[in-house]
Amino acid sequence: MLVTHTYRGDIQATLTSPSATTVSLVTNDGGNGLNNYNVRFDDDAGNDVNTAPHNTADGTSAPPYENSVRPLGNMSDFNGENALGTWVLNLCDFYNADSGDFQRANLYFAAITDADLSLTLSASDTTPNVGINVILTYTVINSGPIAATGVTASLPLPSGLSYVSDNGGGDYNSGSNVWTIPGSIADGGTASVQITAFVNTSGSFAITSEISTSSQTDSDSTPGNGDTGEDDYAALTLNPVTPAVPTLSCPGAPSVLDWDIQDWPTASMSNSYTVAGENITITVDDPDGTLLSSPDFGGQTPAESIYDTGGIVPGESDLHFLRNPPNRTSTTDVTIALGTAGTGVAQFQLSIFDVDFGTSQFEDQITVVGTLSGSPVPVTLFTSTANSASGSVVTGNASSTPTQSNGNMTLEFSSAVDTVVINYGNGSGAPANPGNQGISIHDLNFCPVLTAVLGAQKTAAIYDPLSEGLYMIPGNDVIYTIRFTNTGDGAADADSVVIIDAIPPEIEFYNGDIDDGGPETTAVTGTDNGSGLTFNYASDVAYSNAGSPPANFAACGYTPSAGYDPAITYLCVNPSGVMVAGDPDPSFDVKFRARIK
């Protein structure tokens, strides 16, 4: 700016951009009597305007401008704005004793080389199950003001994860962990890559990432300097967990044969246990003599040890089997007898660890058969990433380690079973002469068989709606109440509760409104006392006029007459639903009215 003036302390100057941003250049300080302004305003100048060495009069010839000075405001306030448009230099002479002239001004624009980059990181699940994939999403954000080129980022995976794939189309190198972003990222633009990784084990793993290079400078961070406080660095913590074994749905907590509590004498082939009142006998049959001894497996197998953890931390005891079969068809068989023969247990479940595949060595195969009194009981099989199920057979299809959950499988019987047979051998993918192979059987979980114990009590009370002090004599009515109660520890089968009550010849059933206009409207009522049963008069009540008890509810087919009907010999009631067990004992009341003859 060149202004000729005999007292430059009188002058105030501001500069306003097309975007209406105003920066103060000089102000009228009134005390500076020097002549002229011949200056170039620059935030990076060595001194402020009107301070040494700019404390002498300026010349009147420009450009070039004689002095580079810092303005009162900041020229950087204009950074990032569009230079196109009208710029306004506003000059004001605040006093009239001196005078001068505006000569000229020039605007100098410098290209901006900054690209403000930041990095974010997210995971599809920060507490994933061991043995599944997790997706990590990395995003570079360019806050400008110019496009960013030459951008790379370091995206290493921690030891607990294994690379599976990415959607970078070749831009991510899984060997070097470097993501190279092609082309440029526009001002305000983003670039993202998703890496799919397999979760190997449980624990806590820090995932870190940082922008490594950029062809542009960044005002608030330096690529590749490892500064965790800068916005080009992103991190999160992954806390994988071992997936819970499916939980049996017992009326109470499942009973457990826990190998941390129970003992299996090393090398023994049959042992019996009593758990929650149920007898459990486990018998091992190894006809080809394949079972081996190993210190890792606790000695001569079958033996207890914590070598196979199935991903459980800390490890728990299991029953281990290590075998060297002579051929593909050789099996070692485990028979588990549960509870009383013919009754068994209501539900049963166990997990087997390290069912996997070893290239040119073995292909673990587990076949499961369950029976009750010799009849087949269906089994449900849960598998992991190193095995798969077909029917009642689980076959290893990938490698696993003793501390991983990849080779876990779980078998579950959701109905009563008294015998479970587990055949351990090889699938067709194993060599003709397989090598050593091993598995371990974890804790046995079961629901004991629970029994409903039903009892009934019948009481009578005089029907005296007007409180006249009536007695149980001929001609008066009586209200009968039948209360049946479940005192057992199990529920009755659905819709199985049937009451067939004999009507004595000394009374006659009243087929009408049981309380003559009271709150009830039917001849028989049903009241639930925590039993879970429901009652509908139209469908749940029937009558018989037979001389002997009906065989079942369906045999009650008599249609009664209205009012007192002496022909009714049996009242039949079949409430709907499941009568549950509980504490206190649940009950259900049935009421009807009859007249003493």
Q: What DSSP assignment string belongs to 361-378?
A: TEEEEEEEEEEETTEEE-
Rounding to the nearest 10 degrees, give the CA dihedral for residues 144, 147, 150, 152.
Answer: 50
Q: How far is CA 273 from the centre of its chain?
A: 36
Mean pLDDT of the chain: 93
Q: Among 116-125, 182-191, 247-256, 572-581, where is mean pLDDT lowest?
A: 247-256
Query: In angstroms, rounded to a whole number, what is the distance separating the alpha carbons of residues 123 and 194?
Result: 9
d(CA 148, CA 215): 7
Q: Compute CA distances 589 → 275, 499, 527, 531, 550, whole Å.
A: 37, 11, 5, 10, 21
Distance CA 463, CA 515 (A): 9
Mean pLDDT value across residues 132-155: 94
Using pLDDT thresholds of 50, 70 and 90, give the confidence band for residue 577. Answer: very high
Contact status, residue 267 vs residue 299, Cβ threshold 8 Å? yes
Q: Which of 85, 104, 123 is the last residue of a domain?
A: 104
The answer to whether position 245 is within a domain reads no
Within this chain, do residues 162 and 218 fall inside the same structural domain, yes or no?
A: yes
79 and 119 within one domain? no
> Average pLDDT of 366-391?
92
Q: Does residue 36 sit within a domain?
A: yes
| C-alpha to C-alpha distance for 432 and 266, rounded to whole angstroms | 30
Q: Read off the CATH number of the domain in which 424 is found.
A: 2.60.120
| Cβ-contact 162, 198 below 8 angstroms | yes
In contact, 436 and 362? CB cutoff 8 Å: yes
Q: 418 with 330, same domain? A: yes
Domain membership flag for residue 35: yes
pLDDT at 109 (0 to 100)? 87
Q: How confident is the model at residue 96 (pLDDT cuts 50, 70, 90)?
A: confident
570 within some domain: yes
Q: Is residue 439 located within the same domain as residue 461? A: no
Chain segment 49-68, per-residue pLDDT in tens: 888 888 889 999 988 999 99
- Assigned token pair, 400: 């696993």
Whether residue 313 is found in the same domain as residue 210: no
Does 253 have pLDDT greater than 90? Answer: no
Residue 62 lies in a domain: yes
289 Cβ neighbours under 8 A, 6+ residues apart = none
Residue 99 and residue 123 in one domain: no
* Cis peptide preceding 314, ω within 30 of 0: yes
Q: 131 pLDDT exceeds 80?
A: no
Task: Classify burial at 196, counting beta carbons within 10 Å of its beta carbon; exposed 0-12, middle 13-18, buried 19 or more.
Answer: middle
Q: Is the pLDDT of residue 175 over 70?
A: yes
Q: Are residues 211 and 88 in the same domain?
A: no
DSSP code per residue over 122-173: EES-SSPBTTSEEEEEEEEEEEEES-EES-EEE-PPPTTEEEEEESSTT-EE
Instruction: Find the CATH number of the domain harbouring 208.
Output: 2.60.40.1530
Better-scored residue on pLDDT, 434 or 96: 434
So what's the pLDDT on residue 114?
Answer: 87
In the DSSP assignment, the letter for residue 538 is H
Provide the domain limits for residue 512: 454-596
Q: Alpha-carbon distance 502 to 497, whole Å?
A: 17
pLDDT bracket for residue 101 (50, 70, 90): very high
DSSP string, 46-82: SSBTTSTTS-S---S--SSPSEEEB-SS-GGGGTTS-
158 falls within a domain = yes
Residue 508, domain CATH: 2.60.40
Choose one of 447, 477, 506: the last residue of a domain.
447
Whether 425 and 465 map to the same domain: the answer is: no
Asked if 264 and 402 sit in the same domain, the reply is: yes
Beta strands 152-154 and 205-213 are: antiparallel
569, two tokens = 């010999």
The reply to whether 345 and 470 lie within a common domain is: no
490-513 average pLDDT score: 94
For the chain, the domain total comes to: 4
CA distance 10 to 568: 123
Per-residue pLDDT at 199: 85
For residue 3, what are the CA distances in angstroms to 47, 57, 62, 72, 188?
A: 20, 12, 10, 17, 41
Tell how far CA 422 is from the center of its chain: 31
pLDDT of residue 159: 85
Q: List b or e across 356-374, with b for residues whose CB sees 16 or more CB atoms inside 10 angstroms.
A: bbbeeebbbbbbbebebee
Q: Please check the confidence at residue 145 and state whether its pLDDT lies above 90.
A: no
CA distance 373 to 416: 10
Judged on CB neighbours under 10 Å (0-12, 13-18, 19+), 79 is middle
Structure-block tokens of residue 467: 């409180």
- 437 and 321 in a common domain: yes
Mean pLDDT (whole number) for 120-145: 92
pLDDT of residue 203: 77
pTM (global) more than 0.75:
no
Structural domain includes residue 249: no
What pLDDT shows up at residue 226? 94
Domain boundary among 59, 83, 104: 104
The Cα–Cα gap between 204 and 208 comes to 13
- Secondary structure of residue 178 in the 3-state scheme: strand
> What pLDDT does 79 receive?
85
Backbone φ and ψ for 402, nearest 5 degrees, come out as -60, -25
Q: Quick count: other Cβ atoms within 10 Å of Cβ 462?
A: 15
Q: Which residue has the tokens 């005390």?
A: 31
Q: In Å, what is the CA distance from 453 to each residue of 76, 491, 497?
A: 89, 9, 11
pLDDT band per the 50, 70, 90 thresholds, residue 464: very high
- Output the pLDDT for position 244: 61
- Half-sphere exposure (Cβ direction) of 465: Cα atoms closer than 13 Å: 10
Specify the pairing of strand 507-511 against strand 22-26.
unpaired
CB 336 within 8 A of CB 420: yes
User: Is residue 81 located within the same domain as residue 143?
Assistant: no
Main-chain phi, psi angles of 65, to 5 degrees: -85, 140
> Residue 31: its pLDDT value, please?
62
On the question of pLDDT at 245 being above 80, the answer is no
- Whether residue 135 contacts residue 196, with contact meaning beta carbons closer than 8 Å, is answered with yes
Instruction: Choose among 194, 124, 202, 189: nearest CA to 158.
Output: 202
